[in-house]
Structure 1
Amino acid sequence: MAKQRMLKFVHTEKETPEKRDPTVRAHDFNEIYREYADQKAAEQASRCSQCGVPFCHSHCPLHNNIPDWLRLTAEGRLEEAYAISQATNTFPEICGRICPQDRLCEGNCVIEQSGHGTVTIGAIEKYITDTAWDMGWVKPIRPMVERSESVGIIGSGPGGLAAADMLRRAGVQVTVYERSDRAGGLMTYGIPGFKLEKDIVMQRVKQLEDGGVAFVLNCDVGKDLSFDAIRGKHDAVLIATGVYKTRELRDPGADAAGIVRSIDFLTASNKKSFGDDVPEFEDGTLNAEGKRVLVIGGGDTAMDCVRTAIRQGATSVKCVYRRDRANMPGSQREVHNAEEEGVEFVWLAAPRAFAGNPVQKVTIQKMKLGAPDATGRQVPEPIEGGLYDEEADLVIKALGFEPEDLPKLWGVDTLETTRWGTVKADFGTHATSLPGVYAVGDIVRGASLVVWAIRDGREAAAEMVKYLDGAGRVAAE
């Protein structure tokens, strides 16, 4: 019976949730995709072929049991579908919104490879969990037994929060230290509302608070509280700070006013969405309204910046990237959404100089793709004589992020780092060079995806419980 409900991909075409009209959505920060109706979600889930070897599952960093919850959705058994989804993913409603499914689960869907169009996995995942919240199926965290041991978590991004969730379910006492005034890390202040509305993040934070997780906000470790003090207060510590140091431009004039960091621009915008007072937004420093905006970079952060600038009322928005469309690191789906909203992409182009203070003009070097480097990617090379000028009132640097020097900032020389500056941690246990100290997410991997941070956080929590049980302590000592 269950099998007959599936394999509908032959005669049921792929149908994504309706997108709001770009002329309307480009003026607000609400999510652009509408929700599936019950019948449509079941219909699209029924397209799954229930593969014997599900590549969607194996290409998901969390190894979510995707075929199982698709089948349950097709059968109308949504509460069970949510239970299966939540079993492997701490934040399925967030992954359903911001994971690059086109590069992960959906990009490896077998029926996509056969030309029938992928199953809309992300949209169904989002629908299942949104329904679970609406129906009250998302239960408070209530450990079977409370433990006396405590863990301090530095950073409240996806890795830190995923670990906090798992540790509390094991009965461990958890305190999260966050330098911002709200928890959530990049999910709160780095990702715009049109991709992830903030009440979605805040409801998970509240669930953790209601479950006994203590949050210490506005706490910059190394300044407001020492790392050694946190270690002394807790039985184990998890480093989940993420990476926030922006890669800088070194071209002439790059220090002019009007050239800003992507993280500052996005944080200011998100704070305004919360209704906060943001002086740098009000005085125009981090506000694109009425300006000619140039965003430099080709990743997902660059896509967030160009689409935010459009919504703030920029007169024009251009994205300058040194490679071509096929070789950009950002999601192709996001590029398409940005183009619909009025963003212009300038491919095979790189900045060479900036004129004016505040900035008024950017000299652009036209590029071509040369021979592949050691990673296999073609190296951009300048085209001789290919220089021209772009006018700009606001330039946003979206060149990627690098780790801060934590041993120096925290005064802990014995915390080992890699040659890239990331914290050195075992990829199986997530243990660092310091006994009882673990690290997860971007501070270990470098700038990566939310879903990888969630996986790291869950794995580290399991290892930390072993450590607290005593087996890990013996090995560490």
Structure 2
Amino acid sequence: MAERMLQFVRLQQQTPEKRSASRRREDFDEIYARFEPAKASEQASRCSQCGVPFCQVHCPLNNNIPDWLKLTAEGRMEEAYEVAAATNTFPEICGRVCPQDRLCEGNCVIEKGFESVTIGSVERFIVDTAWEQGWVKPPTPTRELPYSVGIIGAGPAGLAAAERLRVRGFQVHVYDRYDRVGGLMIYGIPNFKLEKEIVLRRWEQYAAGGIQFHLNVAVGQDVSLAELRARHDAVFIATGVYKARDIDLPGAELRGVVPALDYLTASNRKGLGDAVPEFDGGALDAADREVVVIGGGDTAMDCVRTAVRQGAKSVTCLYRRDRANMPGSMREVHNAEEEGVRFLWLSAPEAFLGGEEVTGVRTVKMHLGLPDATGRQQVAPIEGSHFVEPASLVIKALGFDPEDLPRAFGEPELPVSRWGTLKVHHRTFMTDLPGVFAGGDIVRGASLVVWGIRDGRDAAEQIETYIKSKAQLAQAAE
């Protein structure tokens, strides 16, 4: 191992080549090139193979990162893929969209002094190679079981659960209200972070493995939850959270003040070749406009970088805290700055100005105070620091809340928390309704793709245990 690994003392960190900012602004293509095989092996060899791998500890999926780094360094790519896929349903997606700087790479032991291993880029290389070589197979079971599971939502959690259950032989039916599989991976995340073909090929693969998809089906309208419970041995709710958090300010009703998801969905649908009247009519197109994005998370970064590519006259991000307290990935902030986005830290909106259409955002400077009960510093306005930021398009990227699922599903007994998320027994993922499970963002609140995958995989195990236990009890009673 010593010859192959621990090369961080000799080799510097190198990420795959990144396209210049001027070129990136012209299209929605991914911004990073792919590692050459020799370079991937070289960068993987920088891993210290530490006894307590903090990269793995801080990965929500507990991926066996040191193992597949070592295999990559040795050129054993098919084995590296098998190890990566053993714990992660979508390693090629996590390699692209995970905030590695806050998770695995941010906790790499060699980070202090030598810079971390480029874990995300190597992960992407491993799985892209696997797809090219035909190593990625449909989720085909060794034997079929007579039990079926209905899954509501075709996002990361729903798909992860579907794959795990199908491999175990269950008949899996996925219901989604949209016309494509993927949830926010299709309609929320822009192409420059996750090209849609990466998601669509998984859809094709899962369908080939026998997972049945029922699209354009809204539970509560086209079919009730009660019907699904009668149709299937168990139901898994993985709808995600899509209700945009709003901001109650004067002028919020003006034309040109729009929610982030509406804006991103229009852009992604346009890229997929759909007819998008609101984009074509200019309402959700940033071209030649002064754009202001309110928020500091990854969705805000997706919005500012999308606006740049649409040809905005200027793009400004307002965030009420400073850079250090920003919840989004610092890597994304850096990429946005390279592409010309202007950040106004410690700045909060007070009102949207204009007649019928927005023309500006009245803004006040903020200062950080003492930490609150959560440990986060409180913010307060600075008296007399008001100014107006010109804007002809304002995008509100303030996060997402759950929809009212009990009412939407026509199931008033479906339990929810005070935040509107579904209540589950956290060891079993089951709600108070027998046989109805839930996971992903609809339980934990708006979170990361990788946490959705984790919940889907864990819930699948609990669903399998529930169905088989129920079947055994039924057989014993006969």
Please give the secondary structure, in 2, of the residue aligned with 1:367.
Answer: strand
Deviation at 1:473, TM superposition (A): 8.7
Please give the secondary structure, in 2, of the residue aligned with 1:355.
Answer: strand
Partner of 1:32: 31
The 10-residue stretch of structure 1 (118-127 or 227-236) with the greater mean CA deviation from structure 2: 227-236
The 10-residue stretch of structure 1 (452-461 or 407-416) with the greater mean CA deviation from structure 2: 407-416
Please give the secondary structure, in 2, of the residue aligned with 1:248.
Answer: coil
Partner of 1:179: 177
Partner of 2:161: 163
Deviation per residue, 1:354-402 (Å, 9 max, x gap)? 1122111110011111111111111110001111101111000000000
- The CA RMSD measured in Å over matched residues stands at 1.1
Partner of 2:14: 15
2:305 counterpart (290, 307, 310): 307
| Distance in 2 between residues matched to 1:82 and 1:420, nearest whole Å | 39
Deviation per residue, 1:284-325 (Å, 9 max, x gap)? 111101110000000000000000000001000000000000
Partner of 2:428: 429
Match of 1:289, as an amino acid? A
Kept after mapping to 2: 8 A contact 1:153/1:237: yes
* Residue 391, structure 1, aligned to residue 398, structure 2: no
| Distance in 2 between residues matched to 1:41 and 1:352, nearest whole Å | 49
Deviation at 1:427, TM superposition (A): 2.0
Partner of 1:381: 380
Deviation at 1:471, TM superposition (A): 5.1
* Residue 80, structure 1, aligned to residue 87, structure 2: no
Deviation per residue, 1:2-55 (Å, 9 max, x gap)? 342001000111111110011001110100000000000000000000011111
Please give the secondary structure, in 1, of the residue aligned with 2:465.
Answer: helix
Partner of 1:334: 332
Partner of 2:447: 448
Kept after mapping to 2: 8 A contact 1:61/1:455: yes
| Distance in 1 between residues matched to 2:473 and 2:15, nearest whole Å | 52
Deviation at 1:425, TM superposition (A): 1.1
| Distance in 2 between residues matched to 1:223 and 1:413, nearest whole Å | 15
Match of 2:17, as an amino acid? E
Kept after mapping to 2: 8 A contact 1:268/1:286: yes
- Give 5+ residue unaligned stretches, structure 2: none
Match of 2:148, as an amino acid? S
After the TM superposition, which segments of 4 or more aligned residues of structure 1 sit over 3 Å from their partners? 471-475
| Distance in 1 between residues matched to 2:136 and 2:173, nearest whole Å | 22
Kept after mapping to 2: 8 A contact 1:318/1:343: yes
Match of 1:437, as an amino acid? V
Partner of 2:212: 214
* Residue 133, structure 1, aligned to residue 131, structure 2: yes
Partner of 2:408: 409
Q: Percent identity?
A: 63
Match of 1:226, as an amino acid? S
Deviation at 1:431, TM superposition (A): 1.0
| Distance in 1 between residues matched to 2:470 and 2:70, nearest whole Å | 40
- Give 5+ residue unaligned stretches, structure 1: none
- What number of residue pairs does the alignment pair up? 473
Kept after mapping to 2: 8 A contact 1:322/1:367: yes
Deviation per residue, 1:118-150 (Å, 9 max, x gap)? 000000000000000001011122201101111
Match of 2:382, as an amino acid? I
Deviation per residue, 1:56-76 (Å, 9 max, x gap)? 111100000000000000000
User: When the two structures are superposed, what TM-score results if normalisation uses the length of structure 2?
Assistant: 0.98
Deviation per residue, 1:200-227 (Å, 9 max, x gap)? 0011111111101111111111122211
User: When the two structures are superposed, what TM-score results if normalisation uses the length of structure 1?
Assistant: 0.98
Please give the secondary structure, in 1, of the residue aligned with 2:140.
Answer: coil
| Distance in 2 between residues matched to 1:285 and 1:426, nearest whole Å | 43
